[in-house]
Amino acid sequence: MTQSEKVLYTGKTRTSGGRDGTSRSSDGRLDVRLSSPGAPGTGTNPEQLLAAAWSACFISAIKHHADEMKVPLAASITVDAEVDLVGNGSAHFLRARLSVSLPGLGREAGLVLTNAAHETCPFSTATRGNVDVTINLL
């Protein structure tokens, strides 16, 4: 870590049982059962958790850039995130689509904001070059 870096937050979880187990955060705010995709059970799965986390972070990045650019946003902006678990023989990988709705904002301004958000959102940054991501502006 460089001198200019500052840890803003550390999320801590403990997971047991893998895809068919449980995951709980150190502060108790997250306490979920996990189920493999398509398997019986009432739990969520890692792909759904990633989709939820990424879309929330992406909205925050859009809001940040809108504030910087002094672009007013409707309160009803949404990001529908889809994270695919893809099998290719013995290998597995992720693919994602983020569909962004910015009501009341013109297409050009929307593209500027979504492109800026994709450059700075920590989830987009973490997956860049590793996950095929498509951004759709609705």
- Overall pTM surpassing 0.95 (yes/no): no
Distances 69 to 52, 66, 83, 122 between C-alpha atoms, Å = 26, 5, 30, 20
Helix, strand counts (H, E) of the chain:
3, 6
Task: Please give the pLDDT value at position 39.
Answer: 86
**CA pair distance 48, 46, nearest whole angstrom:** 5
Task: Check for a shared fold between 1-44 and 46-137.
Answer: no
Determine how many CB atoms are found less than 10 A away from the CB of residue 13: 13
Distances 67 to 64, 72, 113 between C-alpha atoms, Å = 5, 8, 10
For residue 118, how far is the Cα from the chain centroid? 11
Q: Which parts of the chain sit beneath pLDDT 50? A: none
Task: Please give the pLDDT value at position 43.
Answer: 93
Domain 46-137 has CATH 3.30.300.20: yes
Task: Please give the pLDDT value at position 41.
Answer: 80
Task: Please give the pLDDT value at position 46.
Answer: 94
Task: Please give the pLDDT value at position 40.
Answer: 84
- pLDDT, tens digit, for every residue of 66-83? 999 999 999 999 999 999
Domain boundaries, the chain: 1-44, 46-137
Domain 1-44 has CATH 2.20.25.10: yes
